[in-house]
Structure 1
């Protein structure tokens, strides 16, 4: 009862004394009652009187009667009998003018159906709550707000947090109504309950016929009150709209898993709840099962990734782990984690619930699990749409995505089924125009997929895509994970012909992206399949690619052996195209191992065959290698002739990959002659092409060479920038050859800049890698730079040992490297004051270099003149 103006309020001594006896503050009492400390203060001072609901709660809290708490004292002027208060006193102009207005905070109506707040705080939703609160409290059409998202994403949990939020309750001061609908909503019962709560009499309710009458009666009862109406888990648009009965001061919050319902209801756009981030997921899991998570962090992270941050999945797993790990027994924790590591087990981990905690989507006797929450939507789909959902499980799940074309090829039905799955939140349509399927939905669908046809359709679709777009690396980047999944399916289903076709078509892309180990694994499978099919051409093709992969990993001996095996087969079947390709690769492998003469024999035979067949792409490739061999033999003029011929031909046929490679080798030929500016021009053009195609090996090579060119021009900072970028890239793809070169060059750059400790670290790592790879020229180059470093550090004995080792590993045909080793030894002799020996070694070095026209010739000549002086 409110205070009557003109009368003095009488403090409730009994109520105040009861609180103080418990040693509690007004705020603490308010928190326990679900009200504000302002109301408690006003009750104790006698300014207002709590309604029957709060009076009952006060008596229960203090264990006293209303009389003992001074709650039944009335003013003397009041009548002896007071009519009982209803749950809600309507604020309407029907009260006598002399009567006071009731206290709105005190008489707020909170629907008993509102779920209790969970014991664990809501994680990762602060931003969503803030945005939705702002919309709900904005008034007008904006206050009609909808939440949607996939099953288990936490729509209801967020709504529960909102209705218990103090700011929301303060704004909606007249109360909150809650209706949980679900797929089988009892609309008349829910309307009747709201009517009762709002004070509609039994007589009035008996006269209501149909939902329209009920809606009008409820709206009339709400009147001008400021209330929030929550319509949770709507499955039908008209059912949701039936509960849109608030007055002008009300807001409505609708939750639904159906995008079309949410978009229809929310005038300003629905809020689609997203899954939790990995960090937020770990926080939630840690709150639920702290002991297990702290003990098995890595396994917990694996579980988080497996369920894609879905709050329901995390909650069920966390509760299960907490129950299994309470005793601390390692055996039980290990078994629990192993169980959750299986998709089928995760789907069926369930929890019982009390009769008032039933999930609105589930029948009262059904336990809550991922499977049950997803299945209730699945069961409402048509058989065709349901089968489409199951078929989409062949795609790798989120964060991967797939095109509509690929989806239609797999589900083998019309696009309407995809739209229905999107509307049901079982499938997501991304901003990039592609689809993605959440991990838990994919796990569910996979459990129900019985036939192999979708797998076969995916394999065939991806074969056609790869064969038709071999060099469209941007497209293949988008589809790469799906293609790899298709390769696995072809292997698992023993589809040998399809496996061989797919692997051979896709390996060039894997080479371009530096996925050498993965390529080697699939090539081995394809090789075995080709042998089983007795398919000689494809046996040879898999050997060619396997040798190239070994070569790219720096295993040149293994590469040569593989190419020789392929060449033997190719000669037997007289396949000239493959013979030429194998001779090309053998030339490269033997050159890398220092066998320049044998390399030229292979390359010349391969070039002759390519010219006979007018295979222009192969001609370009072989000319590129022949030019490189000539460069490293000191025959620069001849090298440039071969390389320019190849470049012109590559430009004519529009082969950008060959153009890029030929530009690299032309740059090397120019740099070896000291034409650094010209070399830089070649490298920069090549780098543009390499970046366009995203070919990481070539980008790394070009960055190494560019750094080498600018360091010779004295720009050490720019050189370091190139080398570090290249090193980062080659480490990612584990290309040991270019890693070695870049480490050596970076060491040289740091040495030039006076960073001697870093320089030695990089030089030694580069040398170690070169020794592992076993390429003599590469090892010799690394030794040369190490020797130079030790000379500058005046560590003469180590420098001499380094240069002597260099002489031992250099092939005889590599005259430039022999000359550089002699130059190094000449300088060590000079430091040791063996001037005669220094001059002899210097003369030998400069003679070789000047004959070749090598860039170092002038440096050695100048040094020799200084020694003579």
Structure 2
């Protein structure tokens, strides 16, 4: 009950006169100084006295002193403060309360989780800096995917010692969710702030409540947390702090965050792999330490989403309680299934409830994501599910593809972006988080027409490949989508589309060195062609299959496939296909050592290509023919073939073909001792290979460029080129170029005096070259290894090496046989047999001079030195 004053209050006539002289109502005064008309009325009637803050505001408003407004305290003019009613004290001080001795503790602030916050140190520091800045910047909004940890981060901030010290008057917390009780939450804040029951009874709408709470906060230093906002209007209702307050908003919706906080919006990202493993280890240490690889697989499967990691970690920890290995194994197996991961649930008490979930719904990935799903319109939901046919992050897909697959307008994509479940990834590109994609894909599979989106994806991909089959940059960008479409075409038995897409995409897979993937899709497409009895497609698929085998060094298998294809092409008198198979058969049979047959194939293929005027085929066969002649020591003829081939390739602007011709021309120049010209060819070819991102050509050109630098004595630079080339060759598992690069690295490191490393390189090169089975390649490796053995004065091992080199080579390999004899001549000289040494060296020199080989001068000088 209120105390009745012992004396009658004395009206402040001067204050009333000042107001009326300016034709202001009590409400006008209240609005201009930030209080209520009730307080102004009481001040004028002398019931209460304005505190120092409002005395200053009144003086500023009327341009009068406190004495002139009768605001100076006086024992005779108004009752002492002890006689004012309790209600009056609350109401008069609500606008500018003195600093309370204890901060307001909002019981709605969730408790800190038992596990420490992982991977958020930078975010915490940045958010605190923003909150402590004051002004508009102090309104900070956190947005991100469901389960990314926005609320957890806010809880950590609410319990942070520095935050509580800065906001010394307390923290208010409002958990909104999709259907917030705004008036109820504001009423609770009003109670905590000490607004009287009388005043609260007069507050009828959100605006009145917001103004009253704002007035009650006044100049207090407080943090207002608005958690899980689903609408801008709801969020704004709680933006009621004063000049010394800060607001922290969390929302799934980027649109809300950017509107509310302007430049203070901050997107919370998922944890990286290291942070995810740390969190999982804290939750389930026994499992993670014992099953590191499986734990890493789970981290990747959920894309570092903290809620997913927490649910999985808690589940695994419960399974380890019994100590039974079989239960842990079963738990890991369960979590490897996307549907099981989504459905793992955790009960929660009323205090710990998620703001987006009602009390009867348990916490799970499925329940947290489905809350957003339920808010979507049918058309938006249908598009959302359809997008799940695309591979998840880190892969991206184009807007064009999204619109085709989802069969929707672009404004639906905008809606999905605005609500935060579809993510933008640069200009007109999108991505889906792994967990979001898992959820939507499962929903799509349950839809009545669940295959429609996949069929649209296949159709779109076929059309895209038809338009962009030679645009390697576009193919690189869309390759994850294309590979997904190939899988769906196979699963849905879309046979014509599978064949079409495989034929269009295989050259890209070859270019990138993705031979295993190419083989798998080619095999499936061949089965489809046989089912449809599509002989033309089957012939093309056999050609690509043989090429992929050839590129992997499987020459005998490649020859067999090419022969099958040639037979099929001849049956249908398909001249273009016949010339293609003859081209590849000429190359592979030469590598198998059948030189006469090789040239026969190539000459027949060239004649057919000229007959049908197929420029690309003419250039290709001339290139192979030039390489074969070059390796046989027929340098002039080789140069003629290669020069004509390059001219045609440049006319067609075929960069892929041009870069390999340039490499062959460089080899030809190097064989003739013109290392400077060779280097020029190799550099030009390397620029083209890198431009089109052709990994095999890049490794090959780096190998040859390194060899050119070696010949010029630039061993340090040579080593740089060779190591880069080896890295590329190993990455694409190209055994042939790996062997060649290892051989050249062996030579280079030998020249630098590191004989132990040189021997390791050369031995590995020999192992690979023998597995591949190309006599010339093995001979080159043996030659370099033999020269190293000579340096180390291992005469018997060197003699054995050069003898093997001489024996494995066909008679046509004049240059390599000559080099083998030179090696044996050096062995003979070391053994004291000068006559034999001189005879072998003279044989070698005569051949090398005859074919114009660059090593002829080296042999001549050595021969002169021993005479």
**TM-score normalised per structure 1:** 0.88
Cα distance change on mapping 1:94 and 1:487 into 2, 3 Å: closer
Please point out which of 281, 284, 293 is paired with 2:279. 284
Q: Is the 8 A contact 2:139 2:264 kept in 1?
A: no
Q: Does 1:413 align with 2:382?
A: no
Q: Does 1:272 align with 2:272?
A: no
CA-CA distance at 1:303 after TM superposition: 0.4
Q: 2: distance between equivalents of 1:811 and 1:331?
A: 61
What are the ranges of 5 or more consecutive residues in structure 2 without an aligned counterpart? 1-81
CA-CA distance at 1:651 after TM superposition: 1.4
CA-CA distance at 1:832 after TM superposition: 1.0
In the alignment, what sits opposite 1:844?
Answer: 843
In the alignment, what sits opposite 1:832?
Answer: 831
Q: Is the 8 A contact 1:680 1:706 kept in 2?
A: yes
Q: Is the 8 A contact 2:224 2:248 kept in 1?
A: yes
CA-CA distance at 1:84 after TM superposition: 13
Q: Is the 8 A contact 1:89 1:102 kept in 2?
A: no
Q: Is the 8 A contact 1:744 1:763 kept in 2?
A: yes
In the alignment, what sits opposite 1:33?
Answer: none
CA-CA distance at 1:229 after TM superposition: 1.0
In the alignment, what sits opposite 1:379?
Answer: 374
Q: Does 1:652 align with 2:651?
A: yes
Moved over 3 A (4+): 81-86, 88-95, 101-104
Q: Does 1:144 align with 2:143?
A: no
Q: 2: distance between equivalents of 1:691 and 1:825?
A: 41
Q: 1: distance between equivalents of 2:346 and 2:163?
A: 31
Q: Is the 8 A contact 1:554 1:736 kept in 2?
A: yes
In the alignment, what sits opposite 1:349?
Answer: 344
* SS in structure 2 of the partner of residue 178 of structure 1: strand
CA-CA distance at 1:432 after TM superposition: 4.6
Please point out which of 116, 120, 135 is paired with 1:121. 116
What whole-Å deviation, never above 9, does each CA across 1:299-319 have from its counterpart, x for those lacking one? 111001000000110111011
Q: 2: distance between equivalents of 1:675 and 1:436?
A: 52
What are the ranges of 5 or more consecutive residues in structure 1 without an aligned counterpart? 1-80, 96-100
In the alignment, what sits opposite 1:442?
Answer: 437
CA-CA distance at 1:85 after TM superposition: 10
Residues 42-53 of structure 1 correspond to what in structure 2 (within 5 A)?
none
In the alignment, what sits opposite 1:717?
Answer: 716
CA-CA distance at 1:90 after TM superposition: 9.2
CA-CA distance at 1:327 after TM superposition: 2.0
In the alignment, what sits opposite 1:634?
Answer: 633
Please point out which of 214, 229, 234 is paired with 2:229. 234
Q: Does 1:210 align with 2:209?
A: no
Q: 1: distance between equivalents of 2:756 and 2:327?
A: 51
Q: 2: distance between equivalents of 1:463 and 1:606?
A: 31
Q: 2: distance between equivalents of 1:725 and 1:235?
A: 52
Q: 2: distance between equivalents of 1:337 and 1:456?
A: 33
What whole-Å deviation, never above 9, does each CA across 1:471-508 have from its counterpart, x for those lacking one? 22111111111111111111111111111111110011
Q: 2: distance between equivalents of 1:82 and 1:439?
A: 67
Point out the more displaced range, 707-716 or 440-449: 707-716
In the alignment, what sits opposite 2:478?
Answer: 479
Q: Is the 8 A contact 2:825 2:837 kept in 1?
A: yes
Q: Does 1:360 align with 2:332?
A: no
Q: Is the 8 A contact 2:94 2:216 kept in 1?
A: no
Q: Is the 8 A contact 1:255 1:262 kept in 2?
A: yes
Q: Is the 8 A contact 2:99 2:220 kept in 1?
A: no
* SS in structure 2 of the partner of residue 137 of structure 1: helix
In the alignment, what sits opposite 1:170?
Answer: 165
Q: 2: distance between equivalents of 1:608 and 1:82?
A: 118
What whole-Å deviation, never above 9, does each CA across 1:702-747 have from its counterpart, x for those lacking one? 1111111111111111111111111111010111001111101100
Q: 2: distance between equivalents of 1:90 and 1:134?
A: 34
CA-CA distance at 1:839 after TM superposition: 2.0
Q: Is the 8 A contact 2:90 2:195 kept in 1?
A: no
Q: 1: distance between equivalents of 2:349 and 2:452?
A: 43
Q: 2: distance between equivalents of 1:84 and 1:334?
A: 70
What whole-Å deviation, never above 9, does each CA across 1:127-183 have from its counterpart, x for those lacking one? 111111111111111111111111111111111111111111111111111111111
In the alignment, what sits opposite 1:400?
Answer: 395
Q: Is the 8 A contact 2:272 2:304 kept in 1?
A: yes
Q: 1: distance between equivalents of 2:422 and 2:555?
A: 48
In the alignment, what sits opposite 2:154?
Answer: 159
What whole-Å deviation, never above 9, does each CA across 1:104-131 have from its counterpart, x for those lacking one? 4x41101111111111111111111111
Q: 2: distance between equivalents of 1:541 and 1:817?
A: 36
Q: Is the 8 A contact 1:771 1:779 kept in 2?
A: yes
In the alignment, what sits opposite 1:467?
Answer: 466
* SS in structure 1 of the partner of residue 229 of structure 2: coil
Please point out which of 284, 300, 318 is paired with 1:323. 318
In the alignment, what sits opposite 1:26?
Answer: none
In the alignment, what sits opposite 1:546?
Answer: 545
In the alignment, what sits opposite 2:617?
Answer: 618
Residues 735-774 of structure 1 correspond to what in structure 2 (within 5 A)?
735-774=734-773
**TM-score normalised per structure 2:** 0.88
Q: Is the 8 A contact 1:154 1:311 kept in 2?
A: yes
What whole-Å deviation, never above 9, does each CA across 1:246-283 have from its counterpart, x for those lacking one? 12221111111111111110032311110011111111
What whole-Å deviation, never above 9, does each CA across 1:284-340 have from its counterpart, x for those lacking one? 111111111111111111001000000110111011011111222100000100001
Q: 2: distance between equivalents of 1:247 and 1:658?
A: 71
Q: 2: distance between equivalents of 1:495 and 1:92?
A: 77
Residues 791-810 of structure 1 correspond to what in structure 2 (within 5 A)?
791-810=790-809
Please point out which of 216, 219, 241 is paired with 1:221. 216
In the alignment, what sits opposite 1:293?
Answer: 288
Cα distance change on mapping 1:277 and 1:791 into 2, 3 Å: same
* Two-structure CA RMSD over aligned residues (Å): 1.9
Q: Is the 8 A contact 1:530 1:538 kept in 2?
A: yes
Q: 1: distance between equivalents of 2:141 and 2:858?
A: 77
Q: 2: distance between equivalents of 1:856 and 1:376?
A: 77
Residues 14-53 of structure 1 correspond to what in structure 2 (within 5 A)?
none
Q: Is the 8 A contact 1:233 1:360 kept in 2?
A: yes
Cα distance change on mapping 1:832 and 1:130 into 2, 3 Å: same
In the alignment, what sits opposite 1:22?
Answer: none
What whole-Å deviation, never above 9, does each CA across 1:398-428 have from its counterpart, x for those lacking one? 1111111110011001011111111111100
CA-CA distance at 1:658 after TM superposition: 1.8
Q: 2: distance between equivalents of 1:851 and 1:82?
A: 125
Residues 83-98 of structure 1 correspond to what in structure 2 (within 5 A)?
92=93
What whole-Å deviation, never above 9, does each CA across 1:57-107 have from its counterpart, x for those lacking one? xxxxxxxxxxxxxxxxxxxxxxxx999999x98994999xxxxx9764x41
Q: 1: distance between equivalents of 2:707 and 2:723?
A: 12
Q: Is the 8 A contact 1:89 1:107 kept in 2?
A: no
